[in-house]
Chain A
Amino acid sequence: MRRASTAVAIGGLIVVAAAGCHRRSAIGAPSNDLLIVGYDREPDTLNRFSTHILEDIQTCVVEGLTTTDERMNVIPLLAVRVPTLENGDVRLRPDGGMDVTWTLRPGVKWHDGVPFTSADVKFTVEALNNPSYKPESTDGFDRISGVDTPDPLTAVVHYKEIYAPYDIQFIRGAFPKHILEGRDIDRAQDYNRNPLGTGPYRVAEWRAGEYILLERVPHYWMGDEYPRIRRLLFKFVANTNTRINQLKSGEVHVVALVPWDKYRELGGLPSVVVHKTPGNAYEHVTLNERQFPPFADVRVRRALVMALDRELYTKTILDGLAPVADGPIQPISWAYTNQVTRYSFDPVRARALLDEAGWHVGPGGIRQRDGRPLSFTLMTQAGYTIRENVAQAIERQLRDIGVDVRVELHDGTAISAIWFEGHFEAMLHWWQLPSDPELTTFFASDRIPPAGRNINYFQDAELTKLLYASDRTVDREARKQFLKRAEAILSEQVPEIPLYTVTRLDALPASLEHFRGNPTNTGIFWNVYEWNIK
């Protein structure tokens, strides 16, 4: 009996050791044959219109008429050029509407060989406006009254009113009419799981729960030598730490959106380079004036801003990687201005402001006024270490000036529902802004939920006027002036506490060349066709 158990134990050890020695031979280094991307979740569908979240994989397969590059400029892709007033492709009609003419690139075919034509563009508009299809958003499409297709390479889109972001209207591409015409698109699982596109890759395999494998198409319209990488594998690894660990061990080669607190860990790896791209997103503390009336007093808001040592946060928690933000428009946007009010860390002045506003320190060190304590709940998303840490740092620093904060962590989906319904007092939140600097939905007085995303419930007539004026013209210089004044008002009134600008960190193999970061939702795969592994 004893000998048996000893034998089993020794045998077990041998097996484990052997297994250990066998490691690493199955996963190779990145090469032009296979590049493995560690992806943070499995997409629900690859239909670009059904869900706007996570389009990295789709970007490789389905191309838009235009796309946005690393400087957030709109550049043509399947269209020959971007329609503008200057080149005559955009015409303003006397009835207040506009016509946008898209000229398509000749010779582009869907992956099944059928030519890509303007009929597909027209079909897409009709499908999105069809009530039986449930896309994530019909924004913009619902302002299109019709599409004319005088020839297979020309589509004239008629808008009922002036729509400033018309140039990214078709950034998600088009549906293939010959595949989806007459069908229930939501249930068209053949398309939703394996969309037909014109891009450099197509879906080879989708193993549920594990990965999606893309392979290059034989004749990409940009040239037969593109794309250079034969296969792209998107491996689903939900847990951020696991993903980073797999990057370190070589099980994955690429990780997008590396959290800032992992930057240093990856810095020492010779095979990995972390690219920094200034982003078009920012984190802030939303102050819901409606739910918590003390926020309506601008002195209180200013005091809160000055109580927080934002420079310290970015230096420590964010490891110096994300600069302090002063407003919703980020430096990378063409509408950015730095002529804004800046509040520095000044707890003494903060306390003075609160005293002036009538909030005096009471028992327990918490300020109160008319018997009511200055105490509110700060919500943020669970599972994001950095955000949780920032929330806790905020809690401590506000307590130092006599404000009581209770931190609540919620799931990502619960967070969205909560701010949508407005049942929160303060929230540590972020917005990824669209490449077009349209701020109306965030700050106009009439755009409080459910009409928009003014979740601060902020009311300022002049600001609202400026924002709408910017939306209703396609003249960039005019828009710049409007937005400049809007930003000045926002920074002075601080309806929300801006924290920092999100810097995108993307980890890629050191041997990969032609990577160009991208701060928009388009993602880093926007130019994957030219990537090359030396």
Chain B
Amino acid sequence: MLAFLGRRLLQSVPLLVVISILAFLLIHAAPGGPLAVYLSNPNVRPEDIARLSRALGLDRPLWAQYWSWLTAFAKGDWGYSFSDGRPVADWLADRLPATIELVGVALVGAITITFVTGILSAVRRGKPFDRVTGAVAVAGISLPAFWFGLLLQIVFSVGLGWLPSSGRTVVGGGDLVDHLQHLVMPATVLAVVQAASWSRYLRSSMIDALGRPYTMAARARGLPPHRVVLRHALRNAVSPLIALVMVDAALLASGAVVTESVFAWPGLGSLFTDSLARRDYSVLMALLMLSSVAIVVFNVLADVLHALVDPRVLLGLGSLGSSGDAA
């Protein structure tokens, strides 16, 4: 197992290097540089621009910039933001808690919905509950997440006035209820979109598990039905789902860019859109790398979990796919 883990992690390193090169080239293909922000100001003269460019190392050849960025990154030095000179790590640390909070709550919600609807629709297969949740789930996969967010805003903020339309807290930190009020809509959007695909996955693997001999054996032994479902069938159905959740969880975090933007949630997602507008290369690179690292790590963990369940995976028959992207 350790050899497997080691091999997978080692395989990930060139992966990340390739990702970083790709991201670096893309970001630097931009017609604006990080100094573009200053160019619109009539008081800034070209000598100033040149001076700033030299000071930030932007006049060196591209590969030189990349190399210094990469070596620093590997050593844990993620550089300084081009806009205010603050260490990039500080920016990330400031915004990370908000994203973790949003994604965490959304995950809890998604998992809850997944389990409730996945199990119930498997048990009541073919019945109205199953049909309805099935339809809703397909709708959930087809839903543009940003539109869902807009609709919620129209109904609950503009229309009913029950919930604040955006932000994380009211000024100066509110109480718990206020916090929850801000959290509920963005978390719902994320949770619903994810739960839609997960619950269907769980449903089919539950149906599969319910049809297995060990389930029928458990029933034959006279165990009460909910015990059969929960203890026996579910335990077997759940492990591939857990692996899938881990893979999708990372996608969830990066896909939160859209939701954070619509709801002005001050997390890494909105940091991404802000940095994109400012062409703040250091922050953008760090964000892309961070999410890619997260996804890679989760992928490996998912493989490990899968291997624990099904040792054949150790022979290298490939890793899991994901169920879709959060948009």
Judge A-B direct contact (beta carbons within 8 Å). yes
- Contact residues of A with B, CB < 8 Å? 1, 5, 8, 16-17, 19-20, 22-23, 26-27, 34, 36, 41-45, 50-53, 131, 134-139, 186-187, 189, 192, 208-211, 213, 233, 235-239, 242, 245-246, 249, 251, 410-421, 423, 431-434, 441-442, 449-453
Do A136 and B48 contact each other (CB < 8 Å), given the known contacts A27-B171, A45-B84, A233-B172? yes
Residues of A within 8 A of B91 (CB): 208
Q: How far is the CB of B92 from chain A (nearest CB, A)?
A: 10
Q: How far is the CB of B51 from chain A (nearest CB, A)?
A: 7
Residues of B within 8 A of A27 (CB): 170-171
Q: How far is the CB of B201 from chain A (nearest CB, A)?
A: 20
Kindly state the separation between the CA atoms of A453 and B180 in the bound complex, as whole angstroms.
Answer: 50
A434 near B167 with CB under 8 A, answer: no
B21-80: which residues lie under 8 A (CB-CB) from chain A? 30-33, 36-46, 48-49, 51-52, 55
12 chain-A/chain-B pairs, Cβ below 8 angstroms: A23-B162, A36-B171, A43-B84, A52-B41, A208-B91, A208-B95, A236-B266, A245-B157, A414-B36, A414-B279, A415-B32, A453-B42
B256-292: which residues lie under 8 A (CB-CB) from chain A? 261, 264, 266-267, 270-271, 274, 276-279
Q: How far is the CB of B307 from chain A (nearest CB, A)?
A: 34
Q: How far is the CB of A247 from chain B (nearest CB, A)?
A: 12
A23 near B161 with CB under 8 A, answer: yes
16 additional contacts (CB under 8 A) given A45-B84, A138-B48, A208-B94: A17-B162, A19-B177, A26-B170, A27-B171, A42-B274, A137-B44, A208-B95, A208-B266, A209-B95, A209-B98, A210-B266, A237-B264, A239-B166, A411-B277, A416-B36, A451-B46
Q: How far is the CB of B327 from chain A (nearest CB, A)?
A: 19
Q: How far is the CB of A122 from chain B (nearest CB, A)?
A: 22
Residues of B within 8 A of A410 (CB): 31
Kindly state the separation between the CA atoms of A237 and B266 in the bound complex, as whole angstroms.
Answer: 10
Q: How far is the CB of B84 from chain A (nearest CB, A)?
A: 3
Kindly state the separation between the CA atoms of A209 and B30 in the bound complex, as whole angstroms.
Answer: 25
Residues of B within 8 A of A432 (CB): 42
Contact of A137 among B45, B169, B267 (CB under 8 A): B45
Kindly state the separation between the CA atoms of A410 and B172 in the bound complex, as whole angstroms.
Answer: 35
Residues of B within 8 A of A242 (CB): 165-166, 264
Per-position binary interface string of chain B over residues 159-192, scored 1 when its CB falls under 8 Å from any chain A CB and 0 otherwise: 0111111111111101101101100100000000
Kindly state the separation between the CA atoms of A242 and B265 in the bound complex, as whole angstroms.
Answer: 12
Residues of B within 8 A of A187 (CB): 85
**B215 interface residue, CB < 8 Å from A?**
no
**B120 interface residue, CB < 8 Å from A?**
yes
A210 near B157 with CB under 8 A, answer: no
Kindly state the separation between the CA atoms of A192 and B81 in the bound complex, as whole angstroms.
Answer: 14
Kindly state the separation between the CA atoms of A414 and B31 in the bound complex, as whole angstroms.
Answer: 6
B234-266: which residues lie under 8 A (CB-CB) from chain A? 261, 264, 266
Do A136 and B41 contact each other (CB < 8 Å), given the known contacts A209-B270, A246-B166? yes
Do A52 and B31 contact each other (CB < 8 Å), given the known contacts A249-B161, A412-B277, A416-B37? no
Kindly state the separation between the CA atoms of A382 and B95 in the bound complex, as whole angstroms.
Answer: 25
**B116 interface residue, CB < 8 Å from A?**
yes
B37 near A192 with CB under 8 A, answer: no
Residues of A within 8 A of B131 (CB): none
Per-position binary interface string of chain B over residues 78-107, scored 1 when its CB falls under 8 Å from any chain A CB and 0 otherwise: 000101111000110011001000000000
B84 near A417 with CB under 8 A, answer: no
Residues of B within 8 A of A423 (CB): 31
Closest to B35 in A: A417
A134 near B32 with CB under 8 A, answer: no
Do A34 and B171 contact each other (CB < 8 Å), given the known contacts A20-B163, A52-B44, A242-B166? yes
A413 near B98 with CB under 8 A, answer: no
B184 near A131 with CB under 8 A, answer: no
A233 near B264 with CB under 8 A, answer: no
Kindly state the separation between the CA atoms of A184 and B38 in the bound complex, as whole angstroms.
Answer: 21
Kindly state the separation between the CA atoms of A251 and B165 in the bound complex, as whole angstroms.
Answer: 10
A19 near B162 with CB under 8 A, answer: yes
B44 near A239 with CB under 8 A, answer: no
Interface centre among A192, A242, A442 (most CB of B within 10 A): A242
A211 near B116 with CB under 8 A, answer: no
Q: How far is the CB of A284 from chain B (nearest CB, A)?
A: 14
Q: How far is the CB of A216 from chain B (nearest CB, A)?
A: 16
Contact of A5 among B42, B120, B164, B266 (CB under 8 A): B120
A246 near B165 with CB under 8 A, answer: yes
**B158 interface residue, CB < 8 Å from A?**
yes
Interface centre among A131, A418, A419, A453 (most CB of B within 10 A): A453
Contact of B177 among A22, A414, A420 (CB under 8 A): A22
Q: How far is the CB of B173 from chain A (nearest CB, A)?
A: 9
A239 near B264 with CB under 8 A, answer: yes
Closest to B56 in A: A134
8 closest residue pairs by CB, A with B: A20-B162, A209-B266, A44-B84, A416-B39, A208-B94, A450-B46, A417-B32, A413-B36
A209 near B31 with CB under 8 A, answer: no
Kindly state the separation between the CA atoms of A210 and B173 in the bound complex, as whole angstroms.
Answer: 10
Do A52 and B181 contact each other (CB < 8 Å), given the known contacts A19-B162, A23-B161, A412-B277? no
Contact of B41 among A23, A53, A413 (CB under 8 A): A53
B264 near A238 with CB under 8 A, answer: yes
Q: How far is the CB of B280 from chain A (nearest CB, A)?
A: 9
Do A249 and B94 contact each other (CB < 8 Å), given the known contacts A26-B178, A416-B37? no
Do A411 and B81 contact each other (CB < 8 Å), given the known contacts A208-B91, A210-B169, A237-B166? no
Contact of A210 among B168, B177, B184, B271 (CB under 8 A): B168
Contact of B274 among A17, A53, A238, A251 (CB under 8 A): A238
Kindly state the separation between the CA atoms of A187 and B90 in the bound complex, as whole angstroms.
Answer: 13
Kindly state the separation between the CA atoms of A240 and B203 in the bound complex, as whole angstroms.
Answer: 43
A237 near B167 with CB under 8 A, answer: yes
Closest to B177 in A: A22
Closest to A414 in B: B32
Q: How far is the CB of B61 from chain A (nearest CB, A)?
A: 19
A19 near B32 with CB under 8 A, answer: no
Kindly state the separation between the CA atoms of A374 and B274 in the bound complex, as whole angstroms.
Answer: 37
Interface centre among B39, B86, B164 (most CB of A within 10 A): B39
Closest to B119 in A: A1
Residues of B within 8 A of A136 (CB): 38, 41, 43-44, 48
A45 near B85 with CB under 8 A, answer: yes
Residues of A within 8 A of B279 (CB): 413-414
Closest to A135 in B: B48
Residues of B within 8 A of A20 (CB): 160-163
Kindly state the separation between the CA atoms of A45 and B168 in the bound complex, as whole angstroms.
Answer: 22
Closest to A383 in B: B277
